[in-house]
């Protein structure tokens, strides 16, 4: 059966506002799925003014949709059950949440190894992600079907209109990111096919970006610590509240590096592009980006947006570019 699949993918280093977009379009779908990563992600949405977070469960749960955590994901049983109780106590129907029997289980030993050996060196979230994927590849991992209560196991049927929610984004991808400052999963849309459909079933790819770049965790080459303490960038951190959903860490911020965004769009085959948090630049009153080897300065947000649209239409196959502000509520 041909399926109808839409994919939402982050085009930077995470934290572009994917959760907000997925939450706004989820009512049009039957199933919302995660295909990669684990509770290292942090998706924040506002429902009736209330701030809600998920780390592993797809944000489709807020729209009462069936939610699937795919075979490419990694699951910490305690954290998963904690998230289930949190969602249930907030009034959501958690019987909709299903985990692939072939997802891998993050053990105590994975978490300990990550925190002891990797967290400081690589700036990981300390969730045991790398050791768990490592055991998966060594073929000595523990599968969800051996560790999760039966009620949560997915029957591996995927029908109807399917929305896939990316986590961790293009530049944290194990193959395409700045290794070793990456995560241990595949974050690009093709990898969503691990859920059980083919690339031909993907009808639409929505790419989510932000009008400036941010990075949580370490990358001494692309995001040196010297980015902190620069007055305008520090103001972006405060106006944009650039603190990690999962770790609470202050993110490093830089002006948008446009050639990298264009590369991400082309790697993912993006049809529609959403650029979030434009209001933050408006609040600080500076409109800058890097392109063609230099920093360009614009006199207004509109002028900057026009430049971005022109470059994107010239260099990618994107149909629509939507600029969004937090206040737009999407």
Which of ligand IMP, Mg ion, none binds 69 (CB below 5-8 Å, type-dependent)? none
Residue with the CB atom nearest ligand IMP in the bound state: 217
Q: At its nearest, how many Å lie between ligand IMP and the CB of residue 251?
A: 8
Q: Is 53 in the site for Mg ion (CB under 5 A)?
A: no
Q: Is 250 in the site for Mg ion (CB under 5 A)?
A: no
> Greatest CA separation found in the chain?
59
Q: What stretches of the chain show up as alpha helix (H) in DSSP?
A: 18-25, 77-89, 108-113, 119-122, 129-137, 144-147, 231-239, 258-268, 278-284, 301-315
Give residues with Cβ within 8 angstroms of 28, minimum separation 6: 161, 163
The CA dihedral of 170, 176, 178, 183, to the nearest 10 degrees, is: 60
Sole binder of Mg ion in the list 15, 83, 135, 219 (CB under 5 A):
15
Q: Is 242 in the site for Mg ion (CB under 5 A)?
A: no
Which of Mg ion, ligand IMP, none binds 125 (CB below 5-8 Å, type-dependent)? ligand IMP
Q: Is 42 in the site for Mg ion (CB under 5 A)?
A: yes
Which of ligand IMP, Mg ion, none binds 63 (CB below 5-8 Å, type-dependent)? none
Which of Mg ion, ligand IMP, none binds 172 (CB below 5-8 Å, type-dependent)? ligand IMP
Catalytic site positions = 15, 43
Residue closer to Mg ion (CB basis): 14 or 71: 14
Cα distances from 57 to residues 68, 73, 83, 103, 161, in angstroms, run 8, 11, 8, 13, 18
Q: Is 243 in the site for Mg ion (CB under 5 A)?
A: no
Residue closer to ligand IMP (CB basis): 172 or 227: 172
- Classify residue 250 by burial, with Cβ atoms within 10 Å: 0-12, 13-18, 19+: middle
Only one of the segments 6-14, 169-177, 224-232, 286-294 lies at the binding site for Mg ion (rule: CB under 5 A); that segment is 6-14
SS3 of residue 78 by DSSP: helix
List residues near Mg ion by CB under 5 A.
14-15, 42, 245
């Amino acid at each position: 059966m041909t399926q109808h699949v839409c994919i939402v993918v982050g085009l930077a280093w995470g934290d572009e506002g994917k959760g907000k977009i997925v939450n706004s379009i989820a009512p049009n779908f039957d199933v919302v799925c995660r295909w990669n990563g684990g509770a290292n992600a942090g998706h924040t949405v506002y429902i009736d003014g209330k701030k809600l977070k998920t780390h592993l469960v797809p944000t489709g749960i807020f729209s009462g949709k069936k939610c699937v955590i795919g075979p490419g994901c990694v699951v910490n049983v305690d954290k998963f059950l904690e998230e289930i109780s949190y969602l249930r106590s907030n009034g959501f129907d958690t019987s909709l949440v299903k985990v692939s029997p072939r997802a891998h289980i993050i053990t105590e030993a994975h978490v300990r190894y990550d925190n002891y050996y990797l967290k400081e060196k690589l700036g990981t979230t300390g969730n045991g992600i790398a050791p768990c994927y490592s055991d998966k590849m060594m073929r000595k991992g523990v599968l969800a079907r051996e560790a999760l209560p039966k009620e949560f196991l997915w029957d591996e049927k995927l029908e109807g209109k399917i929305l896939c929610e990316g986590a961790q984004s293009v530049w944290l991808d194990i193959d395409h990111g700045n290794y070793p400052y990456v995560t241990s999963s595949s974050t690009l849309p093709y990898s969503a096919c691990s859920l059980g459909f083919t690339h031909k079933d993907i009808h639409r790819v929505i790419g989510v970006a932000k009008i400036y770049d941010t990075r949580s965790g370490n990358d001494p080459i692309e995001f040196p610590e010297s980015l902190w303490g620069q007055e305008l960038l520090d103001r972006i951190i405060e106006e944009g509240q650039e603190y990690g959903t999962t770790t609470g860490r202050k993110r490093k911020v830089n002006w948008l590096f446009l050639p990298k965004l264009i590369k991400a769009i082309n790697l993912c085959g993006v049809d529609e592009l959403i650029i979030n948090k434009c209001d933050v630049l408006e609040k600080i009153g500076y409109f800058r980006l890097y392109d063609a080897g230099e920093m360009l300065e614009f006199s207004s947000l509109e002028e900057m947006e026009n430049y971005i649209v022109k470059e994107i239409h010239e260099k990618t196959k994107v149909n629509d570019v939507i600029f969004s502000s937090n206040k737009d509520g999407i």
